[in-house]
Amino acid sequence: AILSESVKMQPAERLKILLFLVNIYSSGCFRSSSINIGRRLIMGSEDIISFQNLNRRAMVTAAFGSSFFAKAAEASAKRGVPNKIGLVDASASAFDNEKTNVVRRNTNEVVSQVNGIRHKRLGGSDVIVSEIGLGTQRWVSGDFNGPDEKLCFKLMDRAILNDGINLIDTAEQYPIPSDNAHPEGLCEEVIGKWASLSKGRRNKIVVATKITGGTRITKKGIIEACEGSLKRLKTDYIDVYQFHWPARYTPQSNWGQSLEYKQEQEESDYRMVRGACSFEDQCEAMGQLLRQGKIRSWGMCNDNAFGLTVLCETAKRLGVAPAAAMQNDYSLLNRRIEENGVSEASSPLYENA
């Protein structure tokens, strides 16, 4: 009831009410997500409140009691107010939804259309991305025809300010190729510089960036790499944070050159010899960043159905929001995700990424 009434208040007052309720009633369960929840409330989200980062029904049950959502719906009905209080459970299966009050959000759900471009949900998160995005690998690079900063700004002006695109895909390793005059990280700096030119630009874009894969991925390394990207992007949060390629050996991490897994490489691959970061450590690091509000969602690149499934299931076991995205090669010529199980694993019925 208080949340429903808060819609009539100014954004700052609404945020105060929200943070008060979160801290009083959560007993610690939801406090860590207050930054992201507050951001959604201030931006006038269609939902009054969305528990974005904490997707486990057990936490809600512990904090509010198993009948919390039923009581909320009943109270709203009596007051003639639409029930918009819901738990986003990205890890719940389609079968669970028939038995619970959990609000199910499916990946690739078309949420809106801007200038003819569809905007879709990413995984079970509240991150909404344009179907077409800006790729930045060659921006400000050492390539002979790589666009310079001025041209990159024009590309973002047209795509984001005029043409309905909000997704920008980058990485801490970009540009490629890099050299002394075009160092790694420069792409993120250019994006951050453009976004800081005027108020409101940051809210118009969804930034997806990546930590370099292999031995760069450790629990400590993930946190440090994220902090570096935040600084270069001149922002306090990243919308989608991804592993550029896996910490472990897998044939898919070689940009899909092979689907054959060779067990003999488990003992010789540089990642395995030095001790690949465990799935638990990876998920715990992403969970920490989610709780701190430094990332809104996370995912992986150049991985396969095994990596997606194990990381998602590990995250659920640890009480962390599972991966929302899997970014792999896919084109007229490269259809490997249709062959290696990724399409099945990422279905809303299973990992919902």
Q: Which residues are catalytic?
A: 174
- Is 217 exposed, middle or buried (CB count within 10 Å of its CB: 0-12, 13-18, 19+)? buried
| Dihedral sign, Cα of residue 46, residue 47, residue 51, residue 57 | negative
Name residue, tokens 């092979």: 258
Rounded distance, CA 303 to CA 255, Å? 9
The two structure tokens encoding residue 238: 């990243």
Alpha carbon separation from 221 to 2, 234, 286, 289 (Å, rounded):
42, 20, 11, 12
Decide if 202 contacts 267 (C-beta within 8 A).
no
CA atoms within 13 A on the CB side of 208: 26
CB atoms within 10 A of CB 204: 12
- β-strands 128-130, 117-121 pairing: antiparallel
Decide if 130 contacts 113 (C-beta within 8 A).
no
Decide if 91 contacts 316 (C-beta within 8 A).
yes
Decide if 77 contacts 83 (C-beta within 8 A).
yes
Buried/exposed 333-347: b ≥16 CB within 10 Å, e otherwise: eeebbeebebeebbe
Rounded distance, CA 130 to CA 133, Å? 6
Give the residue from 148, 175, 163, 75 showing the smallest Cα distance to 113.
Answer: 163
Decide if 340 contacts 302 (C-beta within 8 A).
no
